[in-house]
Amino acid sequence: MEWLVVVLDFLGQQILNVPAYLIGIITAVGLIALRRSAGQVIGGGLKAAIGFLILGAGAGVVVASLDPLGRLILAVTGAQGVIPTNEVITAIASEQYGAQSAYILVLGFIVMLLLARFTPLRYIFLTGHHMVFMSLLLTVVLSVGLGEELGWLVVILGAVLLGVIMVVMPAFAQPWMRKITGDDTIAIGHFGTLGYIAAGAAGQAVGRRSRSTEEINFPQGLRFLRDSTVATALSMVLIYLVFAIWGLIALPTAEALDIFGSENQGAYIMAAFGQALQFGVGVAIILFGVRTVLGELVPAFQGIAEKVVPGAKPALDIPIVFPFGANAVLIGFLASFLGGLVTLVLIAVWLNPAFGLALILPGMVPHFFTGGGAGVFGNATGGRIGAAVGGFVNGVLITILPAVLLLVFGELGFANSTFGDADFGWFGTAIGVSLLGGPVIGVIVCVLIGAALVVGASIFQKRVVDTGWVPGARRDALLAEGSGAETATTTPDRPAGGRTQGKSGARH
């Protein structure tokens, strides 16, 4: 059986762990199902894979530009705590649980396909690295909770739970995705979905008359800020320079210069300036990669939808929504970071002394990607106010939930590290707490949780998604009345014909 472990580990780590390969394969399969020529299959698969590699390259540039900023903020504020990083805990856990997680990853993908085929949840989760993160989270929690001697049960239960969460979360987020994109062709496949739904709901609650972030009218002298790339880069320049100057004032000169590897203060300031511009470059690359993927994947996916899983939708990574609200991404990112800082103070002053929650320091990377996505969701239902409030709510969630998950890991003997995004927090905590009652009770409760999620999501799909409910429809009507435009909305929360294109639905 050792050869089978090697094969599964290869599939899990070398193929399903690389989103570009997974997307390329799915695109090629879809084109084959459409009976396209060999050249079209190869070309379409490669182009889709290249698009995701472009997206990954942009993400790498963003991460590299944010890393020194994060270290600078920690240095000048003197904050100490844990920065949740999915990649770090994954690297730690894979040394001990890599083989089991590979089984869970492959079998979980099969469970997802079966659920998509035989339930109303017609979604196929295609974000490979998040599949790996969740499979490792489940492996760790289940292995420690059930014991090493029940490894076969860990694999079976973990695969079922992984398949469940991969079809359930896209369903719950689909009304907001449909509002953002203007159609029903794609879904969100990212384990920060709870934060995005909360952002969309918050935007709907507070932004009834707030116009879209993409309609911001700048003064004549600031018209250049209409270019989202320029606006993003300028905002980051201001943030970087504020903290860079603060660093020169608050830190010993040598320590401050070492953050950017600079020889003098002039080089230090210009290094901060350059890193801020690199952030803008990364965002521009991400947007181009997303457009490339959409151009190949969505048409090719019709083949899988028609032949394998009728009516299925691809659930894709969060940057897929960035082109639909470029200004909202920046607003959501900044608001999410602010929410993280406010919640950090709340933990330090109250929750840590009272409940022993760890200090979760706001990491720039998770706040950018999940906060930016939350900004787009909030903007779709609540405009500028919704983008800001939605991003802030997301920042609170990705600070509180990792702290709670860290408590669970502590109870299970796996402390001092935690996952970052919202769904890892609530789902990992629910599974971990279930196992504290013992293996038998734990397995029963875990199965009940999975069943409840599938049933609840199926009901939500039929009664909310399929009936065409549009979040924020009242706001659309109010804005249309205010501008004297006609609206297609016939009731406060239902569009005529069951479909609508929200004001944030235009592609950018």
- 3 state DSSP class of 404: helix
**What single string gives the DSSP state of each residue in 315-384?**
EE-GGGGGGG-HHHHHHHHHHHHHHHHHHHHHIIIIIHHHH----BPPPHHHHHHHHHHHHHHHHHHHHH
pLDDT at 495 over 60: no
pLDDT in tens, 167-177: 999 999 999 99
> pLDDT value at position 67?
82
Q: Which amino acid is at 383?
A: G
Residue 489 pLDDT > 70 = no
- Looking at residue 148, its amino acid is E
Using pLDDT thresholds of 50, 70 and 90, give the confidence band for residue 79. Answer: low
Q: What's the distance, Cα to Cα, between the start and end of the chain in Å?
A: 51
The length of the chain in residues reads 508
Q: What's the pLDDT tens digit per position in 451-463?
A: 999 999 999 999 9
Q: For the chain, give the mean pLDDT.
A: 83
The label of the residue with tokens 């906060």 reads: 371
Residue with tokens 């490339």: 292
Q: CB 144: neighbour CB atoms within 10 A? A: 18
Note whether 70 and 363 are within 8 A (CB).
yes
pLDDT of residue 496 exceeding 70: no
pLDDT at 465: 95
Backbone phi and psi for residue 303, each to the nearest 5 degrees, phi listed first: -65, -45
Q: What pLDDT does residue 298 have? A: 66
Q: Which has the minimum average pLDDT: 131-145, 296-310, 325-339, 382-396? A: 296-310
> What integer pLDDT is reported at residue 273 of this predicted model?
94
Name the pLDDT band for 492 (thresholds 50, 70, 90): very low
Give the residue-averaged pLDDT of 268-294. Answer: 85
pLDDT of residue 272: 92
Is pLDDT of 502 > 50?
A: no
**Which is more confidently placed, 32 or 300?**
32
- pLDDT attached to residue 412: 60
| pLDDT mean over 17-36 | 78
Summarize the confidence of residues 303-330 as an average pLDDT. Answer: 85
Averaged pLDDT for residues 338-350: 91
Residue type, 179: K
Look at the block and give the residue holding tokens 């669970």.
Answer: 408
Q: Which of 7-21, 37-51, 248-262 has the lowest mean pLDDT?
A: 7-21
For the cut 80, the answer to whether the pLDDT of residue 424 exceeds it is yes
Owner of token pair 């969100």: 188
* Whether the predicted pLDDT of 136 surpasses 70: yes
- Higher model confidence: residue 280 or residue 217? 280
* pLDDT at residue 103, as a whole number: 83
Among residues 279, 373, 282, the alpha carbon closest in space to that of 331 is found at 373
Average pLDDT on 31-55 reads 86
pLDDT band at 501 (very low <50, low <70, confident <90, very high): very low
For 59, other C-beta atoms within 10 Å of its C-beta total 20
Q: Measuring CA to CA, how many Å separate 235 from each of 169, 273, 390?
A: 32, 11, 19
